[in-house]
Homo-oligomer: A and B are copies of this chain.
């Protein structure tokens, strides 16, 4: 299964706002090259990145009077994809009606969201990251590309049993095991797993966040079409929510646009923890991305990925169903499974 099965009529993140300055930038979405640029009012546009004339990438040109200019012959296109100049054409002649595909764009909270299909005016809004306006939370945004599908990145992000092996020492250790109960709840557009009886993670991050130990409240969530969310709470005041929007860049390439929001029961500003926690988080993420790339490349010798699952793969089947558009006809979350894990 590739990202070709991920829903197209949805909003996806293609860049952080501050990545898009005066020069255009190149991205792909569902394998199609796009060019992002800003018009004279600073509003972002997203066009199919191909000049209709001789197919040069517009993203390798510049922005001139709010329109992106082709690097080959200087044709210019506005954010709606309309051709606004063909240099050399005599002033007496009408401009050709050539147009390039244009995607709806919404910029919000530091992110540039692009709608998955061109030429449509969507009647939905992008997902809202949590705690955006809550001053008690420190928020850390980050983007990174993964060699893997939305499905595989999401399952990996929301999977508990691999942490003791792939992230040995960093997150959990395989040494001490505990009985945990997992309650799986399914809603119309989402699925969540609640972990009950889980002690503070025994790795370095757990020890930093909760030196005194204790039991945590832990949720893993997948929200259609492509959002993975991990939530940890320890007592009333320590709270961490990592939300990742997964954008299908190409058939087996996914952009992870993450925002980690957290608060801690400490006197110092929580932002002082960022330089300590971020390298560890990136190390864990790096191990995950290498593994996702490895299994995909390795599977080529066997004709592609083919999985066998156990009850420990609590969210995978639900992610598959949600990506296939199989909604549950229910506004609220309902329990669908209860599993005992020994991790």
Contact = CB atoms under 8 A, between A and B. Distances in A.
A52 B295 CA distance: 11
Contacts of A31: 301
A114 to B, nearest CB: 17
Contacts of A310: 53, 86, 89, 96
B301 A28 contact: yes
A2 interface: no
Q: How many copies of the shown chain assemble into the complex?
A: 3
Interface string A237-276: 0000000000000000000000000000000000000000
A286 B308 CA distance: 44
A79 B306 CA distance: 22
Contact of A298 (B57, B305, B308, B309): B57
Interface in A307-343: 307-312, 340-343
A132 B343 CA distance: 52
Interface in A137-178: 160-162, 164-166, 174
Interface stretch (A69-77, A184-192, A211-219): A69-77
A307 B343 contact: no
A119 to B, nearest CB: 16
A160 B87 CA distance: 11
A208 interface: no
A41 interface: no
A174 B164 CA distance: 62
A295 B54 contact: yes
A307 B340 contact: no
B166 A72 contact: yes
Nearest to A308: B52
A257 to B, nearest CB: 22
A230 B72 CA distance: 20
A131 interface: no
A165 B298 contact: no
Interface in A66-97: 69-74, 86-93, 96
Contact of A302 (B55, B74, B343): B55
A60 interface: yes
A179 interface: yes
Given A89-B342, A174-B74, A342-B89, A55 B298 contact: yes
Contacts of A89: 310-312, 341-342
A87 B305 contact: no
Contacts of A96: 308, 310
Given A50-B298, A52-B308, A72-B295, 9 more contacts: A33-B298, A33-B302, A53-B308, A54-B305, A60-B294, A74-B162, A87-B174, A88-B160, A90-B341
